[in-house]
Amino acid sequence: MLVLGYLAVVWGIVGITFIFGNAIVRIGTIGFDTFAFSLNWYHWVALLVSVLFMGFAEGYRGFQRAYSPRVAARLLYLRDNVTPVRLIFAPLFCMGFFDIRRARMIATYCLLLGILVLIQLVHMLDQPWRGIIDLGVVVGLSWGCISIVLFVLKAFMSETFEYSPEMPELKNAP
């Protein structure tokens, strides 16, 4: 069973980093197209604001302070509590789409819906504005991927890991 647990962990982290890495590459390509345009001073200000805001809000607050520790905790939990469904859908399990506290699951699905709506709205923007926003998103997602990997390393290499996987049956966990 331990082998299946580690297989699930590897599949979970590879799947998550592929999902975010693929988004970084696709969005980054559009974002870097921004530099093919003649940018005015206000474009540069908007780019700076976008990068700083998304780095802080998405990268630091969203990923590093909340999402990444939870993903790492769920990978750690998955190692010792693998099931056939969790093995097959390990990336989705670690991302919190199932087998998680009800409130967190609702928040996860609402966040996903909000992100999908924002993606559609940003798609309607013309360059260079779309690219300016996309470069901010790339910074946030890149920060997020790095923080996920670092939290996973910390979870698996340290004696204790003080973050909760937020499993439904672990109501009083930290």
Q: What is the pLDDT of residues 112-134, one digit of tens each?
A: 999 999 999 999 999 999 999 99
Residue 156 confidence (pLDDT) above 60: yes
Share of the chain above pLDDT 90, in %: 87
Residue 172 confidence (pLDDT) above 60: no
Within the chain, residue ranges assigned H as helices are: 2-32, 41-54, 68-80, 84-88, 90-94, 102-123, 129-157
* The two three-digit tokens of residue 39, written as one number: 């940018």
pLDDT, residue 91, reads 97
- Is residue 1 very low, low, confident or very high in pLDDT (cuts 50, 70, 90)? low
pLDDT, residue 168, reads 87
- Average model confidence (pLDDT) for the chain? 93
Residue 148 confidence (pLDDT) above 60: yes
Q: What is the pLDDT of residues 48-76, one digit of tens each?
A: 999 999 999 999 999 999 999 999 999 99
pLDDT, residue 2, reads 80
- Residue 155: Cβ-neighbour burial (10 angstroms; 0-12, 13-18, 19+): buried
Residue 153 confidence (pLDDT) above 60: yes
Residue 144 confidence (pLDDT) above 70: yes
Share of the chain above pLDDT 70, in %: 97
Q: Around Cβ 1, how many Cβ atoms within 10 Å?
A: 7
pLDDT, residue 37, reads 92
